[in-house]
Amino acid sequence: MDFGSFLSAPEIKIKIVTYRDIFQNKAMIEDRFGEDYRASSALIKLDPADLKQLGIKKGDTVIVKNSFGKIVVRAEESGYEAPHRGTAYMPNSPWSNSLVSDETGGKGVPRFKDITATVTTAKGEKVTELEF
Amino acid sequence: MEKDYYVCTGCGLLCDDIEVELEKNAVNKVYTACRVGVAHMKEGSRDSAFLVDGKPADEAAAIKEAALILKNAKNPLVFGLGTSTNEAQKLAIELAKKLSATLDDTSSFCLGPVVEALLQEKFKTCTLDDIRHKADVAIFWGADPSDSHPRHLSKFSYFPRGQEKQRGWEEERTAICVDIRKSHTAKICGNYFFQVPQGGDAEFIEALIAGLSGKIPKTSYNYPPKKLLELANILKGAKFGTIFVGLGLLYSLEDLGPLVRLLETLNEKAKGSFHLVPMVGHYNMRGFNENLFAETGYVNSVKFEEGAVKHGPEYSVVEALKAKAVDAALIIGSDPLSSLPRSIAKNLLEIPIITVDPCETLTSRKAKVAIRSGVSGVESGGSATRMDGVEVSFKPIVETNRPSDEEVLKKLMEAL
Amino acid sequence: MTNAMEIYQMLPKTNCKKCGKTSCMAFAVALMARELTADDCPPLIEESKYKENYEKISGLFKTSEGATETGLIVHEDLCFGCGNCVVACPVNVANDPYGVGSGKAPSKTEKLILIIEDGIVKAQNVGECRRFGKNKILCNGCIVTCPVEAIEFV
């Protein structure tokens, strides 16, 4: 029996590491409001086991949120050989920056590469639009 | 035959050997540059635009409005300039002085501390050309040049032949990567990829220092001592070593102390000498740091006040915005609404913004005055400082009717 | 990359022999060996339900121009244009030691095997490649230096 169907959508807690990607950088130079930039930026790379726990397939959208913001991005498999459950990877972008803490200890340096958030399925909701 | 080469201003590497074919004053074909460089050069030519309150305006009206905003501000912020020429940066420093402004660039939350330490001679450094000619060991630490500076390994740090490196990379060079994920650069480094847990760099450095000093290298995350000792041995044998410091390393250290100690230990224990080079991203961020340092003794985060200069993290773009200490912003070639945490950048929306940028950006969309400038290094020339401190001059590749950021700053100065 | 089994899975699997081979599996092997192409399978071209697979298979075996003889394939969509292969290729180094061999722009483009054009590696003069000709060796200079496996020999 599938007990999962009686529970609310599973939510997992993750640490997000951000990184730079050359194709994303290229897409930004070409058109930072374009589809290519969105497709190569608004995504989160998870361990396959985490995808499974969330009950989603790669390519599905997920809600990633914490006390600083909430975004909807596409979930992908990381492709890294070593398992990394609980750690996810995102290209550095306005989407990842929506989740970065404003706590800087007065040093002027936000923790861009060290984000804690929760992930749940977005049930088909579209990727967050870039706007202020 | 001498060929006509251009400089690519796509990143801090400033490749100076780019061949370009033009067609109707647009870049048609590019040789030798990487994908990012090609995009940078090809996406240049667009129409000029001056917008006031989102509506098209002529140049004079836009400059006038921008000057008015700056004049009326008590503490304006001048920010950006990582993709401006040395000449434009020097003008911006003058402008900030005149306005008694807070002046900062992206280096305050990027590699500024490392460049500052270099300029204060806390580390030994060298040029990328030295590295090509002599280096036998290169460490990419928290850096992924394959993605951020694609030609780094092929032009300087790993694959090319040099004066004292005639036999090729397999025999004469070792590339090492220390990172929290298996990046594209880590992949090239093969067995010399050392994966550390997030935030584990400081401990890794201490363990490496122990290993270099003949002690057993211990970490709380049980990094195999054998592997650490293997690394220590490679470094000990180096005749000319370089550590390329990326943001991944800098962000995981509380301060530069561990890195300073590692360099000292290496220079004491290794056969040859060890150097440090920051993996500066924007094409002239190092230039901004050096120009401001020459003028004030600080590399970023300054506030000018009646001839005096104040410095400290409270004058960084992040803290100034967080504390709502600034009441207008002149943003040149940067998009803080994209690149800063949303939780901090949103404070920009409460003050009038002037943007000078070749592209429409999230920030320019919210600007009171948006000035569309030419692409620096593609549509205008000048000079810039490479990531290793070498000055590079360049000429424009295509002609444009769009003003360079240098011209915009000049006109703003006059209007003030 | 792909093996014959994966190719086989995309074929009609009817063993119709129209390609001249005894079975679809044999056809897959012939594809891998570059002996035949996707166009040699009539059902794959003619029947609309195979359209997607036909395109996939054709895409897999798309070779860079003139590179077929040594089996050198450039996956253009993966390439960054970093130039690692250009600088590491021993033939390039031998023919242009002070240009590409030293990490710089080519000074004699016509003698090189690999160059970067519009940010993507382009293979030319592949007959000069060390994996080709009478004294061929299994040189892998361009493969092991690539961060994204954009070059392969089949």
Is the minimum CB–CB distance between B106 and chain A shorter than 8 Å? no
Do C106 and C132 belong to one domain? Answer: yes
Report pLDDT for C153: 84
Q: What are the sequence ranges of the domains in chain B?
A: 47-109+283-415, 112-278
In Å, how far is C74's CA from the nearest CA of chain B?
Answer: 15
Which is higher by pLDDT, C2 or B269?
B269
Question: Quick one: which of C47, C45, C57 has its CA closest to C10?
Answer: C57
Report pLDDT for A3: 54
In Å, how far is C97's CA from the nearest CA of chain B?
Answer: 8
pLDDT 10s digits, C140-153 = 999 999 999 999 88
DSSP B191-244: GGEEE--TT-HHHHHHHHHHHHTTS----TT---HHHHHHHHHHHHT-SEEEEE
Q: Please say whether the beta carbons of A92 and A112 come within 8 A.
A: yes
> Which one-letter amino acid corresponds to residue B36?
V
Do C74 and C141 belong to one domain? Answer: yes
We report the CATH number of the domain holding residue C81 as: 3.30.70.20
Mean pLDDT of chain B: 95
pLDDT 10s digits, B329-357 = 999 999 999 999 999 999 999 999 999 99
What percentage of chain A has pLDDT greater than the value 70?
Answer: 94
Do C109 and C146 belong to one domain? Answer: yes
Q: Please say whether the beta carbons of B352 and B328 come within 8 A.
A: yes
Q: Which of C25, C41, C60 is the last residue of a domain?
A: C60
C59: pLDDT confidence band, cut at 50, 70 and 90?
confident
Rounded to an integer, the average pLDDT of B144-166 is: 97
pLDDT value at B2 more than 60: no
Report pLDDT for A131: 84
pLDDT value at B47 more than 70: no
Give me the phi and psi of C20, to 5 degrees please.
95, -5
The b-or-e profile of B142-154 (16+ CB within 10 A means b, else e) is bbbbbbbbbbbbb
B307: pLDDT confidence band, cut at 50, 70 and 90?
confident
Rounded to an integer, the average pLDDT of A83-102 is: 95
Rounded to an integer, the average pLDDT of C15-42 is: 86
- B339 contacts in A (CB within 8 Å)? 94, 97
Is the minimum CB–CB distance between C101 and chain B shorter than 8 Å? yes
Is the minimum CB–CB distance between B24 and chain C shorter than 8 Å? no
Mutation site, A14, A17, A18, A19, interface B, largest B CB count within 10 A? A19
CA torsion B65-B70-B73-B79 (nearest 10°) is 130
Give the list of residues 6+ apart from residue B130 with CB closer than 8 angstroms, or none.
B240, B275
In Å, how far is C137's CA from the nearest CA of chain B?
Answer: 17
pLDDT 10s digits, B161-199 = 999 999 989 999 999 999 999 999 999 999 999 999 999
Distance between CA B104 and CA B304 in Å, rounded?
11
Interface of A with B in 36-65 (CB under 8 A): none
In CATH, the number for domain B112-278 is: 3.40.228.10
Strands A61-66 and A115-121: antiparallel
Report pLDDT for B1: 44
pLDDT 10s digits, B199-256 = 999 999 999 999 999 999 999 999 999 999 999 999 999 999 999 999 999 999 999 9
Interface of A with B in 85-124 (CB under 8 A): 87, 89, 93-94, 97-98, 100-102, 104, 106-114
Is the minimum CB–CB distance between B366 and chain A shorter than 8 Å? yes
pLDDT value at B414 more than 60: yes
Reduced to 3 states, what is the DSSP secondary structure of residue B31?
Answer: strand
Question: Quick one: which of C88, C73, C87 has its CA closest to C34?
Answer: C73
Q: Which of C43, C60, C77 is the last residue of a domain?
A: C60
What percentage of chain B has pLDDT greater than the value 70?
Answer: 98
Chains that touch A (3 or more CB pairs under 8 A): B
pLDDT 10s digits, C89-147 = 999 999 999 999 999 999 988 989 999 999 999 999 988 898 887 777 888 999 999 99
What percentage of chain B has pLDDT greater than the value 90?
Answer: 95
- C144 contacts in B (CB within 8 Å)? 190
pLDDT 10s digits, C72-88 = 889 999 999 999 999 99
Do C79 and C51 belong to one domain? Answer: no
Report pLDDT for B179: 97
Chains that touch B (3 or more CB pairs under 8 A): A, C
Do C50 and C28 belong to one domain? Answer: yes
We report the CATH number of the domain holding residue C51 as: 1.10.15.40
Do C120 and C98 belong to one domain? Answer: yes
Strands B19-23 and B26-31: antiparallel
Place of tokens 């001056």: B50
Report pLDDT for A1: 47
Report pLDDT for C62: 64
pLDDT 10s digits, B245-287 = 999 999 999 999 999 999 999 999 999 999 999 999 999 999 9
Interface of B with C in 124-183 (CB under 8 A): 132, 146-147, 150-151, 153-156, 158-162, 168-169
In Å, how far is A55's CA from the nearest CA of chain B?
Answer: 25
Q: What are the sequence ranges of the domains in chain A?
A: 11-121
The CATH T-level fold of domain B47-109+283-415 is: Rossmann fold (3.40.50)
Let me know the angle formed at the C-alpha of B396 by B394 and B402, rounded to the nearest 5 degrees: 135
Give the list of residues 6+ apart from residue B369 with CB closer than 8 angstroms, or none.
B50, B51, B52, B62, B65, B66, B69, B352, B353, B354, B355
**Segment among B131-140, C35-44, C90-99 with least mean pLDDT:** C35-44
Rounded to an integer, the average pLDDT of B103-121 is: 96
Report pLDDT for C154: 78
Distance between CA A51 and CA B383 in Å, rounded?
49
- B40 contacts in C (CB within 8 Å)? none
In Å, how far is A16's CA from the nearest CA of chain B?
Answer: 10
Is the minimum CB–CB distance between B180 and chain A shorter than 8 Å? yes
Report pLDDT for A2: 53
B396: pLDDT confidence band, cut at 50, 70 and 90?
very high
Is the minimum CB–CB distance between B36 and chain C shorter than 8 Å? yes
Mutation site, C114, C118, C145, C149, interface B, largest B CB count within 10 A? C118
Of A30, A114, A132, the CB nearest to B337: A132
Q: Does domain A11-121 have CATH number 2.40.40.20?
A: yes
Interface of C with B in 70-89 (CB under 8 A): 79-84, 86-88
pTM higher than 0.90 for the full model?
no
Interface of B with A in 132-161 (CB under 8 A): 144, 146-148, 150
Q: Which of C23, C43, C60 is the last residue of a domain?
A: C60
Mutation site, A15, A41, A113, interface B, largest B CB count within 10 A? A113
- B19 contacts in C (CB within 8 Å)? 105
Is the minimum CB–CB distance between B233 and chain A shorter than 8 Å? no
Give the list of residues 6+ apart from residue B308 with CB closer than 8 angstroms, or none.
none
Rounded to an integer, the average pLDDT of A12-22 is: 94
Of B35, B301, B342, the CB nearest to A98: B342
3-state helix, strand, coil in chain C (%, to 5): 40, 10, 50
Interface B–C counts its CB contacts (< 8 A) at 100
Do C35 and C52 belong to one domain? Answer: yes
C69: pLDDT confidence band, cut at 50, 70 and 90?
low
Q: Please say whether the beta carbons of B348 and A130 come within 8 A.
A: no
Do C29 and C83 belong to one domain? Answer: no
Report pLDDT for B124: 95
Do C37 and C86 belong to one domain? Answer: no
Report pLDDT for B44: 63
C66: pLDDT confidence band, cut at 50, 70 and 90?
very low
Distance between CA A124 and CA A61 in Å, rounded?
6
Give the structural domain span for C19. Answer: 4-60
DSSP B302-351: EEEETTEEEESGGGSHHHHHHTT--SEEEEES--HHHHS-HHHHGGGGGS
Report pLDDT for B254: 92
The 8-class DSSP code of residue A125 comes to P
C63: pLDDT confidence band, cut at 50, 70 and 90?
low
Rounded to an integer, the average pLDDT of A75-99 is: 94
Is the minimum CB–CB distance between A23 and chain B shorter than 8 Å? yes
Report pLDDT for B216: 94
Number of domain units in chain C = 2
